[in-house]
Amino acid sequence: MISSNKMQANLAIILLLGTLIATVLVLIGGSIFLWHHGQEVLQLKLLGTSHFNINIRHLDFSYSPLFLIVLGLLALVATQILRVLLLVFYYGSIRDYKFMVISLFVLFVLLYSFIAQK
Amino acid sequence: MSVTLLIFAIILFFFSILAGLLGSLTGLGGGVVVIPVLVLLFHINIHYAMGASIISVIATSSGSAAAYMREGYTNLRIGMFLETAAVVGAFCGALLIALISKTILAILFSLIMFFSAYLTIMRREEKDQFTTSHVWAEYFNLNGTHAVANQQTPYYVQNVPIAFFIMYIAGLFSGLLGIGSGALKVLSMDQALRLPYKVSTTTSNFMIGITAAVSAGIYFAQGYIHPFITFPVMLGVIVGSYLGAKILTKIHNRVLRIIFSIAICFVGVEMLYKALTGAI
């Protein structure tokens, strides 16, 4: 049986790893993008009125730096899902079924918010 | 106003360090800084600002929650129990976002700023000593221990239904405004559940990332998360929240609350002005 302290330590490791992976992806993507386009002038008013859709069901793979950033952002969000999933397994392992159901509910809402996209 | 993409990213990065620092120190999340900077300073569409803010909240939570869990302060059971109300609220809020005008959102945001300032300045450390807990706390085994002078001291959880309701409202604001609603989360645990302050803030830090992740799925779907705007924000917030976790113990709570309350009141006034003059 996994102790609560061990569980918290495992969650901390997952959070750190997920954040690290996300940071590296976003840093690489952002650096490449700025390397090529950093000196271009940005009309902020235009940016404010333009619509940049990055629906994750229709990701544009043709522009890799921005895609790397999106991938990093998704990795960061996935880390949150992963930590809830870990809690489901943890509460299941100690036979705390009330909290297993509670964690499953949170996990369901999390996943539904991604799957039920228009 | 026109700047190069590089300058824009650098300026945004440094503001985001401040956002991450304040977010992790106060438990309010990074949105209270990120949204006003993007909207008021750079005139970015408020929906993109909220998308960037949602990501900043997740980054703040990930960075600081890891440190706090290693210390053993976070009450995971309370976090997950209250999270059920928060995620439902966040889901409802994010679904409503496309139906509400930017002006109304901005006014609502201003009110949240003033309310957050009031809550921040008025909060006092709870001195009550409880020896029993609420019946729901017993049923869900929510009571825990925390370290006081190197000794594990038990605490007894109170008023669970009230905290549960406040948590739903916190989730709703998170989804609507792209903020972590950390203020309401900490408030519900500090004032309703009567938890020790550090347990409240660290458990809130654990929760805001999950609540924001629910909204993030919907924000992605609606195209509100712009990678170019979001990437300097995310990187800056991670640096800031890391620094915040390091210096948390060295700053007096009262001083931090006063400074932060003044700052968010100022931001609230500016946002209200923009909304009422149609500048958004």
Q: Using 50, 70 and 90 to split pLDDT, how confident is the model at A112?
A: confident
Q: Using 50, 70 and 90 to split pLDDT, how confident is the model at A26?
A: very high
Q: Using 50, 70 and 90 to split pLDDT, how confident is the model at A46?
A: very low
- In degrees and rounded to multiples of 5, residue A41 shows phi and psi of -85, 130
> Rounded distance, CA B203 to CA A58, Å?
35
CA of B54: which chain A residue's CA is closest?
A: A77
pLDDT at res. B256 = 63
Higher-pLDDT residue of B129 and A60 is B129
Kindly tell me if the per-residue pLDDT of A1 is higher than 70.
no
> Rounded distance, CA B246 to CA B197, Å?
18
Window A:87-116, CB contacts with B under 8 Å: 87, 98-99, 102-103, 105-106, 109-110, 112-114
Task: Determine which of A6, A17, A19 to mutate to test the interface with B (most B C-beta atoms within 10 Å).
Answer: A19
Helix or strand or coil: residue A6?
helix
Give the DSSP H/E element, type plus range, for residue B95: helix B76-96
Q: Using 50, 70 and 90 to split pLDDT, how confident is the model at B108?
A: confident
Are residues A19 and B43, on separate chains, in Cβ contact within 8 Å? no
Q: Kindly compute the dihedral angle of the four CA atoms of residues A17, A19, A24, A29, in this order, to the nearest 10 degrees.
A: 140
> Rounded distance, CA B103 to CA B107, Å?
6
pLDDT at res. B43 = 80
Window from A15-29, B18-32, B33-47, B114-128 with minimum mean pLDDT: B114-128
**pTM attached to this predicted model:** 0.82
Kindly tell me if the per-residue pLDDT of B68 is higher than 80.
no
- In degrees and rounded to multiples of 5, residue A54 shows phi and psi of -125, 50
Q: In chain B, pLDDT over 90 holds for what percent of residues?
A: 12
Nearest one of B86, B202, B218, B194 to B131, comparing CA atoms: B194
Length of chain B: 280
Q: What is the pLDDT of residues B139-149, one digit of tens each?
A: 988 888 877 76
What is the secondary structure of B104-172 as a DSSP string?
HHHHHHHHHHHHHHHHHHH--------SS--HHHHHTT--EEEEETTEEEEE----HHHHHHHHHHHHH
Measure Cα distances from A105 to A40, A93, A108, B62 in Å. 46, 17, 5, 21
Q: What is the pLDDT of residues B218-257, one digit of tens each?
A: 788 778 888 888 999 999 999 998 888 777 667 766 666 6
Q: What is the pLDDT of residues B10-21, one digit of tens each?
A: 999 999 999 888
Contact predicate B215/B93, CB 8 Å: yes
Kindly tell me if the per-residue pLDDT of B44 is higher than 90.
no
Is any Cβ of chain A less than 8 angstroms from the Cβ of B84? yes
Kindly tell me if the per-residue pLDDT of A39 is higher than 50.
yes
Average pLDDT over all residues of chain B: 80
> Rounded distance, CA B214 to CA B88, Å?
9
Write down the ipTM of this complex: 0.83
Q: What is the mean predicted confidence (pLDDT) over B116-132?
A: 70
Task: Tell how far CA B189 is from the center of its chain.
Answer: 14
Is any Cβ of chain B less than 8 angstroms from the Cβ of A26? yes
Chain A positions touching B225 (Cβ under 8 A) are 54, 73
Higher-pLDDT residue of B85 and B30 is B85
Task: Determine which of A23, A77, A91 to mutate to test the interface with B (most B C-beta atoms within 10 Å).
Answer: A77
First to last CA, chain A: 42
Q: In chain B, pLDDT over 70 holds for what percent of residues?
A: 82
Kindly tell me if the per-residue pLDDT of A48 is higher than 70.
no
**Helix ranges (DSSP H) in chain A:** 4-37, 44-49, 64-93, 97-115
> Environment class of residue B272 by beta-carbon count within 10 Å: exposed (0-12), middle (13-18) or buried (19+)?
middle
Window A:38-57, CB contacts with B under 8 Å: 38-45, 47-49, 51-57
Strand partners, A43: B2
Rg (CA), chain B: 18
Q: What is the mean predicted confidence (pLDDT) over B26-36?
A: 76
> Rounded distance, CA A13 to CA B88, Å?
27
Give the DSSP H/E element, type plus range, for residue B226: none
Q: At what angle do helices B76-96 and A64-93 cross, to 10 degrees?
A: 140
Q: What is the mean predicted confidence (pLDDT) over A28-54?
A: 68
Task: Determine which of B57, B62, B233 to mutate to test the interface with A (most A C-beta atoms within 10 Å).
Answer: B62
Q: What is the pLDDT of residues B181-194, one digit of tens each?
A: 677 787 788 778 88
Higher-pLDDT residue of B204 and A72 is A72
> Environment class of residue B129 by beta-carbon count within 10 Å: exposed (0-12), middle (13-18) or buried (19+)?
exposed
Measure Cα distances from A67 to A59, B13, B58, B121, B229 in Å. 8, 20, 19, 42, 13
